[in-house]
Structure 1
Amino acid sequence: MSDDYFSTLLQNLEDNAKHRSGRESFTTQIDHEDLIRLKALAEVYDIDIQDLCAALFHTMLQELEARMPYRPGTEIIRMEDGDPVYEDVGPMPRYLSIIRRLEAESSQANGDTKH
């Protein structure tokens, strides 16, 4: 993972930037050693372990999205500076489609009409 992501994460922890709105809970299992690391980090930065986990997940997901590979397909979707740009047949288009579907389902379940 990029140093920039972790630098930002650590800065956010130090600044106690805690964004709580829109959070949901879920349960997962982790290795004992990882739990010890989380507890130590939470203690070092005097932050609740749930807030730490939320920050770590957010940072990790941003990094994963940034690293999803672009795989050019055969269809040209546009021209940029005279060069063809091919459709992406990698995982990103499917991932984004699933995100849109899940957001729409969530909005419908919550009675939102924004999306």
Structure 2
Amino acid sequence: MKVNELMQHWASEFGAELTEESYSLPLSVNDAARIEALAEMFPSMSKEQILRDLISAALDDMASGFPYIAGDKVVAEDEDGFPLYEDIGLTPRFLELARKYREVLSEDRH
């Protein structure tokens, strides 16, 4: 989800599976003020929901922004028959680790 899609998401909130893990962090005065402003603008949303959605959107943006680094291994061909090379950049490692921890955190819930 992109940051600019949050307003639509907040208008039609849906429940995602939540972890038992909790994270606590201090915010800058500027960021805290913006969270307070959003909480006033969207009174049906808790500050925790706002923060959760902002973090999710930022992580999605970050993951989609990792640069593609072509490896030597051909993994497919495009529609014109040109080779597509394995991504050896940060994306595959990030996705692998995210899957690993998603499984760990899901197991903790059951």
Flag structure 2 segments of 5+ consecutive residues without an equivalent. Answer: none
Contact 1:70/1:92 (8 A) holds in 2:
yes
Q: 2:19 aligned with 1:19, yes or no?
A: no
Judging changes above 3 Å, is the alpha-carbon distance between structure 1 residues 108 and 17 closer, same or farther for their aligned structure 2 residues?
closer
Q: Which has the higher contact order (CA 8 A, sep 6+)?
A: 2
RMSD: 2.2
Identical-pair percentage:
24
1:21 Cα deviation after fit: 3.9
Match for residue 85 of structure 1? 84
Judging changes above 3 Å, is the alpha-carbon distance between structure 1 residues 30 and 92 closer, same or farther for their aligned structure 2 residues?
same
TM-score of the pair, normalised by structure 1: 0.78
Distance 2:84 2:40 in 1: 48
- Does 58-67 or 102-111 show the bigger shift? 102-111
Q: 2:33 aligned with 1:36, yes or no?
A: yes
Q: Residue 45 of structure 1: which of 10, 19, 42 is its match? A: 42
Flag structure 1 segments of 5+ consecutive residues without an equivalent. Answer: none
Contact 2:19/2:106 (8 A) holds in 1:
no
Over residues 61-106 of structure 1, what are the superposed CA-to-partner deviations in whole Å (9 max), with x where a residue is unaligned?
A: 1111221211111111222331111110110010011112212323
- Equivalent residues in 2 for 1:104-115, closer than 5 Å: 104-111=103-110
